[in-house]
Amino acid sequence: MPNPAGNNQWGEKNYPPDDDLREALLKCVKLKYSRKEKLAFLESELNLKIGETKLRDIEDRLEIPTIRKPRLPKQIIREAASDMIKKDLTRSNGPNAFKSMLQDEYVMIPRDDVRELMHTIAPEGFEERRPGAPRKEIPRVGLVSLGPFHEISADGHEKLNSQALQMGDISLPIYAYRDKWSGYILKIIVIPDARKAAPLAHVYLDLVREYSGIPIQLTTDKGSERVWQHAIQDTLRRFAAPNISRNVYPTAVALKSVHNTVIESLWRWVHRKTGKNLKDVIAQGQIQHIFQPHQGFHSYLFYWIFVPLIEDALDKFKTYWNHHRVRIQHDKHNPSGHVPADAFQFPKKHNPNAINCFIRVPEDVQAKIRQIIEDDPEVGPRDQYFLWYPEQFRLIAESVYSGLGKPKIDMDSAWAVFKAMSPHIASRM
């Protein structure tokens, strides 16, 4: 029977704007929803009740990627999958994991295609992941160093990042530098981004400024965050210590994370002594339904309250670590049974043959290098990398905090203060 109005059993539809539809459907892609789950999601989130045929039409029109229609050339998809497989150096991920991680980036590929690529690129991984396969042990070797500042190791810690916290976009990356010979922590900080090279260029220059010099060697993981740090270290050592052979003593070295043991071994203690407590306190905001990720200013308020607390906790851990006594290990080449701060400051007390390898860098040279990287378009000014919230929010938060009588903020009261400030800030946003 003719139906000139186009109405059917689904009734008249009021479709949301394309931008809202696209955002919702891309969210479904990341959530790995089936077609029925997508339909239920659209109905609950956008009040849109449609059938599978209409869903396909909308996905085609908005170019939403699916396994059948990935919206990318096959070669691009295979290259993305191949690149991810090659970067899995430990061969710890299987086809399902790669398929899921690629889908998180809206790269849709069938599991069988991933498996085929894995058999071509890294066939040994299947045997290594087989249930009951012998575990590949990393050989342990003694750490050897000439003395303080011979080698400083650096790395980031992700136990408080967004994936670990599961609180929307809240992320608290930590980065640290540790002396190999003494075990002394030179610097440990929380920063908005510990994965990119640009902010860590400034962090390394901050370290150089704090100690007025550099080590013979800087050791990092192989991540992209190392690039500017290595360049700065190499430049400063060439200038300040041209007589030290780079063939004998490298200026900078990048290792696999599992081999960067000087700093990697520290993270277990950070987590045990400080990080786990911090994570438990932070989680209370979600458990008690105080923190709402969909409230945009909640992230800003969280950072305003918690970043100073975390900085304080890390400073206290640094003080504890540098002044605690390390257990005795009789077969250890470097000091043992010592206090890291004591060994760092008085190396010959612990080994008469120890050499303080510190290389002094003049302040004017530091300033020149800082200016060079700030003028570089890939890096830019330092301050932009240490902003947790906009300046306008800071002014509002400080005004509200003063209006409440500036209550004490510590780990016990943080969420109570958050809860008290939240409605006042909401009224001003």
Q: For residue 133, what is the enclosing H or E element? A: none
pLDDT, one tens digit per residue, over 216-263 is 999 988 888 889 999 999 999 999 999 999 999 999 998 876 666 777
CA distances from 327 to 146, 338, 339 (A): 21, 8, 9
- Token pair in block for residue 211: 């100690």
- Token pair in block for residue 275: 């990080």
Whole-angstrom distance, CA of residue 326 vs CA of residue 307:
29
Q: Which residues of the chain have pLDDT under 50?
A: 6, 138-143
Q: What DSSP state is assigned to residue 64?
A: -
- Give the angle subtended at the CA of 421 by the CAs of 415 and 426, to the nearest 5°: 125
Q: What is the CA 146 to chain-centroid distance, rounded?
A: 32
Amino acid 126: pLDDT: 85
Record the pTM: 0.66
Amino acid 258: pLDDT: 63
Amino acid 276: pLDDT: 77
Grouping H, G, I as helix, E, B as strand and the rest as coil, residue 389 is: coil
Amino acid 142: pLDDT: 40
